[in-house]
Amino acid sequence: MNREEARKRIEELRREIEHHDYLYYVLDRPEITDAQYDLLMQELARLEAMYPEFITPDSPTQRVGGKPAEGFATVTHRVPMLSLNNAFNEADLRDFDRRVRQLAGGEKVEYVVEPKIDGLAVSLIYENGRFVRGATRGDGEVGEDITANLRTIRSLPLRLRQPVPFLDVRGEVYMPKKEFARLNAEREEAGEPPFANPRNAAAGSVRQLDPRVTAKRELHIFVYAIGLIEGRDVATHWEGLHLLRELGLPVNPHIYLAATIDEVLDYVNGWQEKRHQLPYEIDGMVVKVNSLSLQRAMGSTAKSPRWAIAYKFPPEQALTRVEDIVISVGRTGVLTPTAVLTPVRVAGSTVSRATLHNEDIIRQKDIRIGDTVIIHKAGDVIPEVVEVVKEKRTGAEKEFHMPSRCPACGSEVVRMEGEVAWRCINSSCPAQLQEKIIHFVSRDAMNIEGLGPKLVVQLMRAGLVKDAADLYYLRYEDLVRLERMGPKSARNLLQAIERSKNASLGQLIFALGIRHVGAKAGKVLATAFRSMDRLMTASEEELMAIPEVGPKMAASIVAFFAREENRRLIERLRQAGVRMTEEETAAGDQPLAGKTFVLTGTLSSLTRREAGELIEKLGGKVTNSVSKNTDYVVVGENPGSKYDKALALGITLLTEEEFLAMVGYPSSRQKEEKTAEGEQIKLF
Ligand code: IVH
């Protein structure tokens, strides 16, 4: 490939990656698998490394860059960032409607209703379609320049799909519930205080001076309003939201256009319970006048617009009793106190335990065994004690003291300087080993199906497993003898363990449980080093040369591999046949191993992404373009140019039916026939 061809290919790859980001983040309709996406990114990174003169700041490879900043510059918003007045009940919303209609002077009023995302308000500036600056709300007039950190958010496009001359768009950066729970668990293991809610976690992540820290946290954004736009005329807020979506910006899918306040109320009430099913926290619904001319006519007070209101859901809390306080020991030895509660329903589920985080929190809140307490779910996910109802004390409550010895192994516990946690210092403490193994087999790690925490405990108690490597030396004879383990489950378990040998290098690195190395970092390290051996011998400098790796992570990785016991563990995993490199493809016994597929056109039984995942699961590879190395091209409805290319190169073409037969997936017609006979079929 010459220089000119490289330049063209680079631009082509960027467009393709942006297109897939759009499908994934904005339309929620991905067409390719993560592995295919990674291939595109890798090809782009490789070409950019060969031709650095073609690197531009808006390239998808350039999201994490730059060095830690000294501080944030200030930014004056061209249009102030207002906040909202609150409504707490139906009467408040009806009052709002009355005021709006009065000001509208008889004009018909429509409302747009949107979830109120609990995150951090930001302004994003695009000039000629390029993301040039992002800022916090600050005091509404002046905010902080957090461009470098916002660039790390993958759902934020660095280029718009159409280059409007100027756009100032407002939105909310948020952290999904799952990530909030993960981050807090990680902080607890590291002896750091947890974040109180996803909003604080998002704000804390975005206001990091080092963008690498932001990049490690999963943050997303929804945009909800146009602050200023040039080059386009927009008459209603609804139209504006759709324009933003067309431009490639992520707009919340649950926006709703209501013709009357009754419709608003119905919609809002419908979300009261449903909100717990969303993957992110919402603390209410925002109601906005749809017509922009009416919005302008109504204007704003100093702080908030008259044409919008935030309906806040009542906080979900429940009263219950602390029956006991128990201690669990995590994989780094942290002792975490947990309150055992009389079961009670709160925020969509029954809660019987609440984390007390650490000793300081028990002291601050003065929580005693026997206390009546108010609980809630932080971030709508983590049950927590809000406060003690002191009036209900009888005098029989018992104060709790952290144990001075590890409840699992009896070793000494210490509190490190600057940490809130007590730790068991015995690295062969059975509780720590147990948690390490539970982590090792978990979904994002080696993903050993059917091997949950209970079975790990059972295997350890039976003396069959002492560390993660022992899993790969389990024998059928040992397993069948276990209680509740028949021949079939024993065989299934061995098969699942066998399959996990082929987990990606990134999964393995994450599974090792190195401090500060999460699932994302595992992947980054795997891509950078491609083999466990190279990672094991990497110096702190080499590690820190990777944009996503900061000094803390680098030091922790070096320290991990310096320990003899960790090197021994890896050696035993290697000897058992666990994959230690990135290039290695799937095991030979997988039916599609070594085969390369290209998909074109629309499939009727499954999405292209599902088809891709299926191929990868069976050991095949999916690429985005047809070449002489392609084995099969699967042709759906309305195939594109890949079809012509496949014909020209004489590649084997598969119809959807042929493809489904090859991968053993029931086609839609077969599905109907079978269901008609009343037979249950299980899809993968
Ligand atoms: S509209 C002038 N829409 O809630 C319009 N805000 O106090 C101002 N928020 O600061 C905001 N989701 O951070 C709007 N769909 C949404 C929102 C939303 C969350 C936040 C935003 C704002 C605060 C209101």
* Closest to 9 measured CA to CA, from 35, 45, 36: 45
Residue 350's CATH number: 2.40.50.140
**DSSP codes joined into one string, 476-541:** HHHHHTSTT--HHHHHHHHHHHHHHTT--HHHHHHHTT-TT--HHHHHHHHHHH-BHHHHHT--HH
Residue 19's CATH number: 1.10.287.610
User: Which residue has the CA at smallest separation from atom 3 of ligand 1?
Assistant: 224
User: Which residue has the CA at smallest separation from atom 18 of ligand 1?
Assistant: 116
Q: Are 343 and 350 in contact (CB under 8 A)?
A: yes
Dihedral of the alpha carbons of 485, 488, 491, 492, in degrees to the nearest 10: -90
* 324/464 same-domain check: no
Residue 544 domain-assigned (yes or no): yes
* 325/449 same-domain check: no
* 368/343 same-domain check: yes
Q: Is 560 helix (H, G, I), strand (E, B) or coil?
A: helix
CA of 38 to the centre of ligand 1 (A): 34
**pLDDT for res 11:** 96
DSSP bridge pairs for 337: 327
* 246/109 same-domain check: yes
Residue list, ligand 1 pocket, CB within 6 Å? 82-84, 114, 116-117, 121, 172, 224-225, 286, 305, 308, 310
CA of 241 to the centre of ligand 1 (A): 14
**pLDDT for res 609:** 86
* 171/270 same-domain check: yes
* 496/509 same-domain check: no
Which contiguous run of DSSP H or E holds residue 562?
helix 551-562
User: Which residue has the CA at smallest separation from atom 13 of ligand 1?
Assistant: 121
* 188/279 same-domain check: yes
CA-to-CA separations, 83 to 254, 422, 567, in angstroms, rounded? 21, 41, 54
Instruction: Pick the last residue of a domain from 575, 603, 637.
Output: 575
Query: The tokens 């759902």 sit on which residue?
Result: 155
Backbone CA torsion sign across 55, 59, 60, 63: positive
Backbone CA torsion sign across 474, 475, 481, 484: positive
**pLDDT for res 663:** 83
CA of 239 to the centre of ligand 1 (A): 18
Residue 454 domain-assigned (yes or no): yes
User: Which residue has the CA at smallest separation from atom 11 of ligand 1?
Assistant: 83
Q: What is the CA radius of gyration of the chain?
A: 28
Across the 684 residues of the chain, what is the mean pLDDT of every consecutive 10-residue run? Answer: 94 96 92 89 92 93 80 93 95 96 90 97 97 95 94 96 96 96 90 91 92 90 97 96 97 97 97 94 97 94 93 94 96 94 94 94 96 96 96 96 94 89 90 94 93 94 94 95 91 94 94 91 91 96 90 94 94 96 60 88 87 85 89 92 91 90 65 35 28
Instruction: Pick the last residue of a domain from 544, 575, 606.
Output: 575
Instruction: Pick the last residue of a domain from 277, 312, 347.
Output: 312
Range of the domain at 186: 86-312
**pLDDT for res 226:** 97
310 Cα nearest atom in ligand 1:
24
User: Which residue has the CA at smallest separation from atom 10 of ligand 1?
Assistant: 83
Dihedral of the alpha carbons of 196, 198, 203, 206, in degrees to the nearest 10: 130
CA of 532 to the centre of ligand 1 (A): 46
**pLDDT for res 230:** 96
* 106/248 same-domain check: yes
Residue 681 domain-assigned (yes or no): no
Q: State the pTM of this model.
A: 0.80
* 53/201 same-domain check: no
CA of 284 to the centre of ligand 1 (A): 10
Mutational pocket test of ligand 1: of 81, 84, 238, the residue with most ligand atoms within 8 Å of the beta carbon: 84
Q: Are 134 and 123 in contact (CB under 8 A)?
A: yes
Residue 607's CATH number: 3.40.50.10190
115 Cα nearest atom in ligand 1:
15
CA-to-CA distance for 181 and 380, rounded, in angstroms? Answer: 10
Burial 170-184 (b: 16+ CB within 10 A, else e): bbbbbbbbebbbbbb
Residue 530's CATH number: 1.10.150.20
CA-to-CA distance for 111 and 116, rounded, in angstroms? Answer: 15
Mutational pocket test of ligand 1: of 86, 111, 117, 281, the residue with most ligand atoms within 8 Å of the beta carbon: 117
Residue 421 domain-assigned (yes or no): no
Would you say how long the chain is, in residues? 684
The beta-strand segments (E) located in 547-637 are 596-600, 621-622, 632-635
Mutational pocket test of ligand 1: of 124, 137, 172, 287, the residue with most ligand atoms within 8 Å of the beta carbon: 172
**DSSP codes joined into one string, 388-423:** E-GGG--S--B-----SB-TTT--BEEE-TT-S-EE
Residue 301 domain-assigned (yes or no): yes
* 551/606 same-domain check: no
Residues with a catalytic annotation lie at 116
When divided into structural domains, the chain yields a total of 6
* 457/550 same-domain check: no
CA of 303 to the centre of ligand 1 (A): 12
CA-to-CA distance for 191 and 194, rounded, in angstroms? Answer: 9
Query: The tokens 């065989």 sit on which residue?
Result: 491
Mutational pocket test of ligand 1: of 141, 197, 286, the residue with most ligand atoms within 8 Å of the beta carbon: 286
- Report CA 377 to chain centroid distance, whole Å: 19
**pLDDT for res 667:** 53
* 514/535 same-domain check: yes
CA of 575 to the centre of ligand 1 (A): 55
User: Which residue has the CA at smallest separation from atom 21 of ligand 1?
Assistant: 121
**DSSP codes joined into one string, 283-308:** EEEEEEESBHHHHHHH-B-SSSBTTE
225 Cα nearest atom in ligand 1:
1
Phi, psi of 334, rounded to the nearest 5 degrees: -70, 135
CA of 257 to the centre of ligand 1 (A): 17
